[in-house]
Amino acid sequence: MEMHAHVPKMGRTLGHWLLEGLFIVTSVALGFWVTQFREERQNRELAARILKGLEAEVQNNLSTLEPFADIQDRWVDALANLGDAKDRRTGFPVCPTSSTACGVFFATRPDLGNIKSSFPLFRRAAWDTAVSTGALRLLDYDLVAALSEIYQMQELFRGNMEKIGISSTDWFDAGAREAAVRKLYMAMVELQYDERQLLLPLYRRSLPLISTAIGRR
């Protein structure tokens, strides 16, 4: 009768287990590194797009505001020198003469040339996009602070612009002309200050900061 010897198989050695564990740890670490690398690259690309959008927006708002600063200066001077004249023609049918605050508004407004609105209209889509997507966290703190101040001042400008009483009843009331014109003048002076002392310097200071940040990407 033929006999067969059975040799028991040896289990995996400690070295084998260590090597297998090393492979697993290396694979996991490599996966994390690839994911992090991809995320950082996407963040850099997003930050670059956001910065270019903000640069274009600030430049556009600066270009929009610059001609209005001179217009606003002439407008405030015309208001200050109008006096009690109530027969100035406006060329605007709703309030044809300077007998009302509405009429004073149009009678003293300088020639706007090719400009279609009485006041500058500022863009803020790039800023709102950066805020809503959380992309501001990818930008330098000092730059974000400077940009935040710009858009806060734009809101201040908008609030002062809304003080001009187009929707107020005394805007068209000849009997309330004196008080309404005073309110108009005060609002126009505030807008003049916002343009000359706040927005123009902020735009001009922020553009080099944005350009520098773009150059680092």
pLDDT tens per residue, range 10-55: 556 766 666 666 667 776 666 666 556 566 677 788 889 999 999 9
* CB neighbour burial string for 142-153, b if at least 16 within 10 angstroms, e if fewer: ebbebbeebbeb
Q: From CA 167, how far away is CA 175, in angstroms rounded?
A: 17
Helix axis angle, 101-108 relative to 14-82, nearest 10°? 100
Q: Which position has the higher pLDDT, 40 or 95?
A: 95
Q: If we measure between CA atoms, which residue out of 148, 145, 139, 150 comes closest to residue 49?
A: 139
Q: Is the predicted pLDDT of residue 58 greater than 70, yes or no?
A: yes
Q: Which position has the higher pLDDT, 192 or 216?
A: 192
Residues 6+ apart with CB under 8 A from 174: 86, 99, 100
Mean pLDDT of the chain: 86
Instruction: Give Cα separations from 177 to 66, 72, 121 (angstroms).
Output: 31, 21, 28
pLDDT at 20: 67
Q: Is the predicted pLDDT of residue 108 greater than 90, yes or no?
A: yes
Q: Is the predicted pLDDT of residue 61 greater than 70, yes or no?
A: yes
Q: What is the mean pLDDT of residues 98-105?
A: 92
pLDDT at 14: 64
Q: Is the predicted pLDDT of residue 205 greater than 60, yes or no?
A: yes
pLDDT at 16: 63
Q: From CA 106, how far away is CA 118, in angstroms rounded?
A: 10
Confidence label for 87 from pLDDT (cuts 50, 70 and 90) = confident
Put simply, whether the predicted model's pTM sits higher than 0.75 gets the answer: yes
pLDDT at 33: 60
Q: Is the predicted pLDDT of residue 2 greater than 60, yes or no?
A: no
pLDDT tens per residue across span 142-156: 999 999 999 999 999
Give SS3 for 25.
Answer: helix
